[in-house]
Chain A
Amino acid sequence: MSQSEIQFTFDDKTISALSGQSVGAALLAANQRSLRKTRFNKDKRGIFCGIGVCFDCLVVVDGITNQRACIIEAKPGMKVQTQDGSNA
């Protein structure tokens, strides 16, 4: 079965995803390994547990912070952004 392709944006880039794919998986496929910066040390973080447990893959989706990229399904036209700290 072939899956249809959809598009969303990450910061300024356009990213393609297969329907059903998570935002985090599509970003990783596009070689985007860092998804956020931590609040205090501003360290980069990316996907760690991959199953929604660790909350390390946080991104801002359509303006809402603290969304787990690894489990949120990519939808056409979604506006995804790097989360900087808690996005102050």
Chain B
Amino acid sequence: MHNVVIVGGGPAGLSAALAAAAAGAPVLLIDSNSRLGGQYWRNSVDELENQNEQHFDLATGLLLINAVKARKEIEVWSEAQIWSATNDEGKNTLRVIHQGKEKIVNTANLILCTGAYDRTLPFPGWDIPGVMTPGGVQSLLKGHGVLAGKQVVVAGTGPFLLPVAAGVIKAGGEVVSLIEANKSRRWVSSFIVILENLSKIKEAFYYIKTISRGKVRAQFGYAVIAAHAADNGELESVDIAKINRNFKVKKVKNIKCDVAAIGWGFTADTSLAGSLGCKQVVAKDESVVVWVDSEQQTNIPGVFAAGEITGIGGSDLSMAEGVIAGIAAAKFVGCKVDISKAHRKRRAKRQRFANALIKAYPIKTGWQLWPNDQTTICRCEEVSLGDLKFSVEELGATDSRTAKLFTRCGMGLCQGRICGRSVVDLVAKELNVLPTDIDRISAVNRPIITPIPLGVLAQGE
């Protein structure tokens, strides 16, 4: 019997598993990737030496992954995807697809560490092959040793653009342009935050060194606002605009590239927590996250959450939260442990750093003017901005949910993970209102967490 079930094998989930196991609680760790490590410690083979190139902090990752594998109290299910989860009077039921079959896990103690994925914004041409997310470019490199293109534009906002640009250069690619939408200076504002998070600053400089060796100069206050395809339908160039503080376009130039990696921070994947009925809230960066108390417990007793799903903050914060969640969950099942002051302090420090980043890399509403009526908003169902406008102006949709029902926007295979957030913003803009928290939270409601073959569904009990 497992006392604690953990979902997610990234920094948060690994840390939680080790903390719970160390406290004496047997753990089942369920992760959908084929190898442990989550989004940050992505690797192509179990022996990671040859991947060192692409990582700043692989040592920590290796340590955690190997420790998890070595502990006999921890059972790991990799390539195990939870497609549905329900909470019925205190009992949580997870329905997991593992090795082509469905398994049912019932548990009263659960730690959710389902992480995040790149946030993207729609613009004309963002669906052309060659336009990618920075995370996508990085996971191809880290996870598969493949460089996505030879001439790469890295753009968007946030510190995560640095490791991606550095990675491309290390792998022998050319970063033709590294552009950050926000002005860089803003984030230096809090000196103390920087001092207490020196390792993060070191990490940044590690990337910057590589980037400057590649003779790339970062440009601030610019954004990619359109992409163009060659005759073969694949990416040939992008339009880069100088933008003002609200992301309104000032001046545009065109540059050639074969890959554009464009990301706007991250979106937490709270679908699993939402299906269980965990309370979700809208964070400062307008992403929907899972609400937790100071012990990482959600509003459902015995269900804990850690890492990016409780707020975007990077791998260090995820680990700090994971440890606390692991201890708290072990305590919940009767192990004699407690969360120490040091643990809380570490989390608070990382949290301040995360807050500073969110402040430094805002996403301003000017982006809503980049798409035109022909621009695809929902990539899966090929719904354009014009279609969305029609649903509001002519069909009378007064919220994003109704606009979605009229247009199928967000109803495709990705279940609105890519366009959902933007649709809430764009519909609100059309209606001349601000999106409500209810709009944002209802846009991430996915009772079927991931598509499941009918044959597998039919065989289950």
Partners in one complex: yes
Which chain A residues have a beta carbon within 8 Å of chain B's beta carbons?
1, 3, 18, 20-22, 25-26, 28-29, 33-35, 38-41, 43-56, 58, 66, 70, 73
Residues of A within 8 A of B34 (CB): 73
Cross-chain pairs A/B with CB under 8 angstroms, 16 sampled: A3-B45, A18-B44, A25-B145, A28-B140, A40-B382, A45-B129, A46-B234, A48-B133, A49-B118, A50-B132, A50-B140, A53-B418, A54-B417, A55-B380, A55-B412, A56-B379
Neighbour of A51 across the interface among B39, B129, B131, B412, CB < 8 A: B39
| B332: A residues at CB distance < 8 A | none
Q: Across the interface, do A49 and B135 meet the contact criterion of CB distance under 8 Å?
A: yes
Whole-angstrom CA separation of A45 from B227 in the bound complex: 14
Residue pair A49, B133 in contact (C-beta under 8 Å): yes
Interface check B198, CB cutoff 8 A = no
CA distance A56 to B136 in the complex (A): 12
Chain B, residue nearest A19 (CB): B45
Q: Which residue of B lies closest to A34 (CB)?
A: B129
B143 CB–A CB distance under 8 Å:
yes
The docked-state distance in angstroms from the alpha carbon of A21 to that of B34 is: 11
Q: Is the CB of A46 within 8 A of B50?
A: no
The contact string, 1 if C-beta is below 8 Å from chain A, for chain B 106-149, is: 00000000000110000000011111110111111001111010
Q: How far is the CB of B454 from chain A (nearest CB, A)?
A: 12
Cα distance A18–B373 in the bound complex, in angstroms: 43
Q: Are B47 and A54 in contact, with the CB atoms below 8 A?
A: no
Measured between beta carbons, the chain A residues less than 8 angstroms from B136 are 47-51, 70
Task: For the complex, give the distance between the alpha carbons of A29 and B127 in Å.
Answer: 20
- Set B44, B117, B143, B451: member contacting A49, Cβ < 8 A: B117
Q: Is the CB of B45 within 8 A of A1?
A: yes
What is the 8 Å Cβ interface bit string for chain B, positions 220-264, against chain A (1 contact, 0 not)? Answer: 000000000100111100000000000000000000000000000
Considering the complex of A and B, which 3 residue pairs feature the smallest CB-CB distances, nearest first?
A50-B136, A46-B129, A25-B144
Please indicate the chain A residues that have their CB under 8 angstroms from the CB of B140 in the complex.
Answer: 25, 28, 47, 50
- Taking CB as reference atom, which chain B residue is nearest A51? B139
| Least Cβ–Cβ distance between A53 and chain B, in angstroms | 5
Q: Which residues of B contact A43 (CB under 8 A)?
A: 127, 233, 382
The residue in chain A whose Cβ has the minimal distance to the Cβ of B382 is A40
For the residues of B in contact with A, the DSSP-based class is: loop
A40 and B229 alpha carbons, distance in the complex (Å)? 18
Known: A18-B44, A25-B143, A44-B129. 11 other contacts (CB 8 A): A20-B44, A20-B144, A25-B145, A28-B146, A35-B129, A44-B229, A47-B136, A47-B148, A49-B117, A49-B135, A50-B136
Q: Smallest CB–CB gap between B108 and chain A, Å?
A: 30
Q: Report the Cα distance A41→B317, complex, angstroms.
A: 43
Once bound together, how far apart are the Cα atoms of A40 and B382, in whole Å? 7
A residues in contact with B144, CB < 8 Å: 18, 20-22, 25-26
B53 interface contact, C-beta 8 A: no
Q: In the complex, what residue of chain A is closest to B43 when comparing beta carbons?
A: A20
Task: Give min CB distance, B266 to chain A, whole Å.
Answer: 11
A48's partner among B131, B145, B229, B232 (CB-CB below 8 A) is: B131
Interface residue B414 (Cβ < 8 Å from any Cβ of A) = yes
B139 touches A54 (CB 8 A): no
A9 smallest CB distance to B (angstroms): 19
**A48 near B137 (CB under 8 angstroms)?**
no
Q: Please, which residue of chain A has its CB at the minimum distance from the CB of B233? A: A44
Pairwise interchain contact B382-A34, C-beta atoms closer than 8 A: no
Chain B minimum-CB-distance residue to A41:
B382
- Per the bound structure, the CA–CA distance linking A49 and B135 in Å amounts to 7
Q: Contacts A1-B50, A33-B130; is A53 near B143 (CB within 8 Å)?
A: no
Which chain A residue shows the least CB distance to B383? A40
Q: Which residue of B lies closest to A50 (CB)?
A: B136
Q: How far is the CA of A20 from the CA of B144 in the complex (A)?
A: 8
